[in-house]
């Protein structure tokens, strides 16, 4: 594919993927605020206890097959049909397991309501398995416009359903019904829009290739999903559902700018970078530019959110959620590095090194367990600080292997990112001081956002930041 054509597709893909993530998530965000005002931290803590079961099931359903389909240069109908059959079978088996283990989950946490909750929310696992190939089909074509349409529609409809049941006193069940409704509509729309269905029989040859690549990603995904939910498990068991509810909301807000913007970049750049997987010099240059641009957008967002966490939580969720502000302030410092982790791991997939992907995930989770065990006795705040140190340790591990593959290791990446980091950190310090000067939450928030954004963009312009110039070019291109 010609480079200019690839650039145009990348820019369009970024635009529509951004709309997909941030329009749908923005709508979801608004509905979650409304629901949080109607529900309690305990309701959110209860539903958070089930997250690990659904997350692990979804990893089994995907099994890395989606990435394998996107990456395969000579993709056939046999490959897609084989992936579909496998996903559906795994979805049915996963739901059967969830149905059986639901009473055990209730006994572990001492909460009988978890049994029917898990059996209802688990239906979403089967629904997800039915749309994996359809979504991969659109990603292969770098067609995120139709994915955005699906995401926005499902976010609006499921949000309305959740609000309706919350208003009618269903409590935690409003969240469960919302989740199942969202997956039902999402799957139905993907089938209508993509109009793909399996036309070939199951192929052992296709399965061998897909599983050969995807099995390492499956193991890595399982590790990541279990690890992502280790903190909720420990908090729910050692502390209380209320504290878990506060922590989970802080984690959700920290994830919003970091994980979701990273998801936009990953979804678009994985198929794009895969097309240059055998051109190391071109891959290296594009990869470094992607890292710098990601940091330029995400670092100031995360540190700005950290500095304004207190007024933000009080304005958005109300005083009953004020306890989660301290967690949000700290978690933002850990999550700001998430895009750098994710993009480094993305490169391993592009180069077909899912074996290294798995190896890195195992090492990182062992490091994380050490920090978790060391910090639990000191309380939830110290556990959050431990996440920052653990994130930096794991960053060094990720970048070590990137350096081996394309000679862009830890020190090269840190050199590329330091300018943005220090500009963002300076902005954080000024905004934090400003927030503490005022006492009115609206004044704290308004001044914090205005001064922070003006300061960061002003400093970037004065320093003639290449990322600032690149961002302006992308905006101009999107306008055209």
Structural tokens at position 23: 């329009």
With cut-offs at 50, 70 and 90, classify the pLDDT of residue 388.
Answer: very high
What percentage of the chain exceeds 70 in pLDDT?
Answer: 86
Question: What is the pLDDT at residue 105?
Answer: 87
Q: What is the 3-state secondary structure (H, E, C) of 229-284?
A: CHHHHHHHHHCCHHHHHHHHHHHHHHHHHHHHHHHHHHHHHHHHHHCCCCCHHHHH
pLDDT at 431 over 80: yes
Question: What is the pLDDT at residue 479?
Answer: 59
Backbone Cα Rg of the chain? 22
pLDDT at 384 over 90: yes
What percentage of the chain exceeds 90 in pLDDT?
Answer: 25
pLDDT tens digit sequence for 249-263: 898 888 877 777 777
Mean pLDDT of 235-246: 85
- What average pLDDT does the chain have? 82
Mean pLDDT of 426-432: 94
pLDDT at 337 over 80: yes
pLDDT at 223 over 80: no
Q: Is the pTM of this model over 0.85?
A: no
Question: What is the pLDDT at residue 180?
Answer: 93
Question: What is the pLDDT at residue 120?
Answer: 93
C-alpha 245/C-alpha 172 separation (Å) is 12
Interaxial angle between packed helices 3-18 and 466-479, expressed in degrees from 0 to 180 and rounded to the nearest 10: 80
pLDDT tens digit sequence for 284-304: 787 787 888 888 888 999 999
Question: What is the pLDDT at residue 1?
Answer: 41
pLDDT tens digit sequence for 6-16: 555 555 555 55
* Nearest to 431, CA basis, from 349, 295, 310: 310
pLDDT at 53 over 60: yes
pLDDT tens digit sequence for 107-154: 888 889 899 999 999 999 899 888 888 888 877 776 667 777 888 889
**Torsion from C-alpha of 263, 247, 49, 113, nearest 10 degrees:** -130
* Nearest to 120, CA basis, from 183, 49, 35, 180: 180
Own/partner pairs, 186-193, CB within 8 angstroms, 24+ separation = 186/127, 186/131, 186/150, 186/151, 186/154, 187/127, 187/128, 187/130, 187/131, 189/149, 189/150, 189/153, 189/154, 190/131, 190/134, 190/135, 190/150, 191/130, 191/131, 191/134, 193/134, 193/146, 193/149, 193/150
């Amino acid at each position: 594919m010609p480079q200019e054509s690839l650039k145009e597709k990348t820019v369009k893909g970024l635009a529509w993927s951004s709309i997909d993530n941030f329009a749908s998530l923005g709508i979801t965000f608004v509905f979650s605020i409304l629901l949080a005002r109607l529900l309690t931290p305990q309701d959110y803590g209860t539903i958070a206890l089930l997250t690990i079961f659904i997350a692990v099931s979804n990893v089994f359903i995907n099994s890395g097959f989606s990435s394998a389909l996107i990456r395969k240069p000579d993709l056939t109908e046999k490959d897609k049909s084989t992936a579909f059959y496998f996903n559906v079978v795994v979805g049915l088996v996963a739901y059967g397991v969830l149905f059986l283990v639901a009473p055990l989950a209730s006994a572990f946490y001492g909460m009988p309501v978890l049994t029917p909750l898990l059996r209802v929310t688990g239906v979403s696992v089967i629904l997800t398995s039915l749309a994996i190939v359809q979504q991969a089909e659109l990603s292969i074509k770098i067609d995120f416009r139709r994915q955005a349409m699906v995401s926005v529609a499902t976010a609006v409809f499921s949000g309305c359903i959740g609000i309706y049941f919350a208003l009618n006193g269903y409590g935690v069940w409003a969240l469960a019904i919302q989740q199942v409704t969202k997956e039902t509509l999402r799957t139905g729309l993907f089938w209508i829009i993509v109009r793909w269905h399996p036309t070939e029989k199951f192929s052992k040859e296709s399965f061998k290739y897909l599983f050969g690549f995807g099995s390492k990603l499956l193991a890595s995904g399982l590790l990541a999903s279990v690890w992502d939910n280790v903190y909720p498990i420990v908090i729910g068991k050692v502390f209380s559902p209320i504290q878990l509810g506060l922590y989970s909301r802080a984690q959700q807000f920290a994830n919003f700018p970091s994980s979701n913007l990273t998801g936009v970049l990953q979804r678009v750049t994985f198929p794009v970078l895969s097309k240059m997987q055998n051109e190391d010099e071109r891959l290296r240059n594009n990869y470094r530019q992607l890292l710098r641009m990601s940091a330029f957008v995400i670092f100031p967002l995360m540190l700005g959110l950290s500095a304004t966490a207190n007024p933000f939580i009080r304005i958005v969720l109300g005083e009953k959620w004020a306890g989660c502000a301290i967690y949000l302030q700290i978690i933002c410092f850990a999550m700001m590095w998430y895009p750098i982790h994710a993009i480094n791991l993305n490169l391993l997939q592009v180069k077909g090194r899912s074996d290294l992907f798995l190896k890195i995930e195992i090492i990182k989770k062992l490091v994380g367990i050490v920090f978790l065990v060391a910090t639990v006795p000191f309380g939830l705040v110290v556990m959050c600080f431990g996440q920052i140190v653990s994130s930096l340790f794991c960053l060094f591990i990720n970048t070590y292997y990137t350096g081996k593959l394309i000679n862009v290791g830890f020190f090269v990446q840190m050199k590329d990112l330091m300018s943005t980091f220090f500009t963002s950190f300076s902005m954080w310090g000024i905004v934090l001081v400003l927030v503490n000067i005022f006492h009115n939450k609206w004044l704290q928030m308004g001044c914090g956002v205005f001064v922070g954004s003006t300061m960061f963009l002003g400093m970037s312009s004065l320093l003639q930041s290449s990322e600032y110039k690149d961002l302006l070019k992308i905006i101009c291109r999107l306008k055209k």
